Amino acid sequence: MKSLDGKVAVITGGNSGIGLATAKLFADEGAQVVITGRRKDVVDAAVEAIGPTAAGIRGDVADPAHHANVAELVRDRFGHADIYVANAGVNTISLSQQVSEAEYDAQFAINARGTFFGVQKIAPLLRDDASIILVGSLASDKVLEGHAVYAGTKAAINAFARSWAIEFKARGIRVNMLSPGPTETAILEKLGVEPENRDAFVAMMAHAIPLGRLGRPDELARAALFLASSASSFVTGINLRVDGGMALL
């Protein structure tokens, strides 16, 4: 028997990177998976890659109406959900003096607002003993240059996780935060790392990580599987750092 047989999982930002790796692993472990993303073509390609037990929906996680649409899809197709992974996020690296109002608003809208209203809309459909996983960041614990706004959004998510762990306790719903360190995903390019500078950037980051390398999406996916499955049945309200020990330095 697979660890997620009979489960329904919803993963925001499940069309790439850590989200896609998690969606694939959850499907392999028996779950029906619903993913979200901003671009329909990318979502459709991810659904095909995940397999026949996957469905996708395009939308903007900053818009509560999108989360209402996700909940409607889940209700109509499955009647309930068992796992919710708030993974979608954005990071714009800028020193505080250079942060524009638009950059600030976008990061809080996608990272914090998107997480909050995603959970709010899906909560009525979650079965008792469900698992909610909020994807945070090493940046909420460790000061990183140019990450002040991003760190603030992830600190908010940490606060959500701790509050919801208590708020949903009567239903047996577990709420945990998963905090990746630097991971080998397309986010490196989105952060402005040019292809010709990628190897030097990765080497620099690896030097700051006790395990001496960046993480892999599949490693984050396995950590998410732990939090989603009965293997973590007595775990709630934690911040699970999967960062190669980087927060220690």
> Cα-Cα-Cα-Cα dihedral of 43, 217, 238, 60, to 10°?
-20
Q: Where are the domains of the chain?
A: 8-187+217-243
* CA-based nearest residue to 104, from 158, 151, 136: 151
SS3 call for 240: strand
Residues with a catalytic annotation lie at: 150
How many whole angstroms separate alpha carbon 23 and alpha carbon 9?
A: 8
Q: 8-187+217-243 adopts what CATH topology?
A: Rossmann fold (3.40.50)
Q: Which pLDDT belongs to residue 188?
A: 61
* CA-based nearest residue to 168, from 235, 233, 82, 236: 236
Per-residue pLDDT of the chain (249 residues; tens, 9 = 90+): 899 999 999 999 999 999 999 999 999 999 999 999 999 999 999 999 999 999 999 999 999 999 999 999 999 999 999 999 999 999 999 999 999 999 999 999 999 999 999 999 999 999 999 999 999 999 999 999 999 999 999 999 999 999 999 999 999 999 999 999 999 876 666 556 677 877 888 888 889 999 999 999 999 999 999 999 999 999 999 999 999 999 998
Number of helices and strands in the chain (H, E): 9, 7
* CA-based nearest residue to 132, from 168, 90, 174, 160: 174
CA distances from 58 to 29, 95, 114, 224 (A): 24, 32, 14, 23
Q: Which amino acid is at 66?
A: H
Judge contact between 178 and 134, C-beta under 8 A. Answer: yes
Q: Which pLDDT belongs to residue 1?
A: 87
Sheet with 126-135: list strands edge to edge: 54-58, 32-37, 8-11, 81-86, 126-135, 174-180, 239-242
The answer for residues whose C-beta is within 8 angstroms of residue 217's C-beta and 6 or more apart is 17, 18, 20, 21, 22, 183, 184, 185
